[in-house]
Structure 1
Amino acid sequence: MASTSTTRRAFATSASIAMVLGADASARGWARAGGTDADGGHAPDHALPGPYRVRTLPQLEHTCDRCFPMCTGLSCLTRIKVYVPRTEFAVDALFPVRGVRGIDAGASTSEDGSRGDVAAPYPVAIITPGFLIDGDAYATLARRLCSWGFVAVTYTKTESVAGGTLDDDVSAAILDDLISWIGSDVLLSPYADSQNVYLIGHSRGGKISMLQATRDDRVKAVCLLDPVDNTVYAPIAPGYPSSLAVMEANPSRVPPIAIVGGVNGGECAPASSNYEQFFAASPSGAVARDHPPWGISCGAGHFDFVDEATFVQKVICPEGTLDATATRDLSAAIAVAHGERIFRPLPAYGDDDAVLDRVLVSLRNQWIDRGIDFTTVRKM
């Protein structure tokens, strides 16, 4: 349940949110984003921005009341940014009638197997940041996901290095509560389908996302960006369980997974608990719900996945040999393609291998035009 202060804030900002939600042009955008496959069907290029216009809602705040006493006071507070695909707006949609779900919900598929207009509610993509990283550091990724028809959410926990950090169990509880809040919030619920959740996490955020995914049926897919299970600074301990151990013990609880990792993680992403270990722990075959895990390695450094690394982050962790903008392009393309193959599978997409190969070919062609070396990118 949202806190009283959050509820007041929601009603106070309803007019502002109404103004930023406008008409959609998804079918035209789909045509611009799509390509043509060998059979003449429409195969979209997930390495490009999607067909939807992106609207950023005013910043929201939410207090995890049910997280008490695991966290107390301001440590239970999160600052939230929500990116909503531009849709047909109706004032009544802000205050839906009980039992009515969303705005003109549904999707259409054309005769050639391509996607037509996809209406609200949209799947929810929640990006969990790394340790002490602001959620706004993933705005580029959030906007790209939103442009493909996801309600994208970034959030920032209230913690600091000066003794005010939250452990992994509390962090997962905050994420769990955030999903529930999105589904009940009067402003967001008409647009966000909180029963179809896509968790994306970077660094420690990848670990938190996986811990939540294995215990929450609302989570249908995960994408991990240079995930880290533990380090010498945050070893396995009470409050800091191993997500790798959870994956190995409960493979049937692991949703379809995509992983992008950088080979230059250094001590920030030690080899014993980095992306390679997450890929090794990922189930395959029928246990993987017939979606084989995707694993991509590249020449990235650990903080090349954020929009702009700080001076301290660059000092602490080595930089990559791959251009940082290319790392973010790769991450966004894989995140979008993985989300589309799980939440909106279409005949034109082909099988999972075809979807991944098409994305990598598009990226390679773009990078050649930009003079960026593609040779560090490898399928695992």
Structure 2
Amino acid sequence: MKQYGCLTNDSSHATAIFVPYYSGLDIARYLWGRYNVSVRDWDSRDLVKWLREKPEWSVMDGKDHFLVAGRITWDFRRAVDDDSSWGNKLMFLPESQNMTMLTIESSPWHRNDFAIPYPTYFHPSSDNEVVQWQNKMRRQKRRALFCFAGAPRPNMEDSIRSEIMEQCSASRQKCRLLECKNDKNKCMKPVHVMKLFQNSVFCLQPSGDSFTRRSTFDSILAGCIPVFFSPGSAYVQYLWHLPKDYTTYSVLIPEDDVKQKKSKIDKILSQIPGNKISAMREEVIKLIPKVIYNDPRSRLKTFQDAFDLTIKGVLDRVGTLRKEVREGRNSSSDFDEENSWKYYTFGNTKEHEWDNFFRRTNRVRY
């Protein structure tokens, strides 16, 4: 942010105001251990109190402020004040409802947070480095039809990871599996993960502990076409960074079809024509600059990276909110917050084929 070319020290000239609060580092101290809710919420409450008392806040009641949370949204959305419940309630505080919150995974059912890409292993310092990497991924020989890197979730009833791993193991001629387990966990070493993805045509991206995975962006970086099992994993998340037409760069296989053994992954992927695969891979490779964060000591000249697109998204959003304030309107009243995913993705809340994916069964957890 300090390298951004359009900074000003005069808030009256600013379109948006960045709040440099490290909320992810704050809550990470308390996620694993016996800390009561007062301890977990203290810094967040202190922050919004301080912001509320600043003259900049009164201009738009914080609607021009934005913050980077640095972790998934659920770490900041504790629904009940119970010491045994996860996270803090930063995003539920009244002041936070006005701010734009940037997270690596947003909530489909709330209107004030927006997802930005997970960081990958590649931080180029020039346009030429980006082009060289893209060309390398175009030339890459991909011997496996699909692959999966991850671990099962035996304690999660809705997880389809075990089924995916079984299907991969049963398709040994077509699938490569990198299981993340034991002390020799190769998934923690970039060279193993990237080698797997670079040698595969498709990369399976099922949900894990939450909807999204860092692995999605590793696969794009590797020129590997992501296969999702829920639109909550990417399509309603990274609205500023990924194409609206998800079929141009990815495949969606409904997770219920996998769970109920209605879908055979190798069969579905094998039936995709070669020219379609080539077109999808090229789209994935073109996405690489948009989902990486370049070296902050330099700037890309012809590409917009994830940071650039994020700031543009924030400025556009704040510009819209400012116009609404002047006109005495409030678009957030135009839709039920429960349908935020639909409104932000499609601009309306009409009945949609994805409705079944976003019916909440556990509002305390999600």
TM-score by length of 1: 0.30
Q: Which has the larger radius of gyration?
A: 2
**Relative contact order higher in (CA < 8 Å, ≥ 6 apart):** 2
Q: Which structure features the higher share of strand residues? A: 1
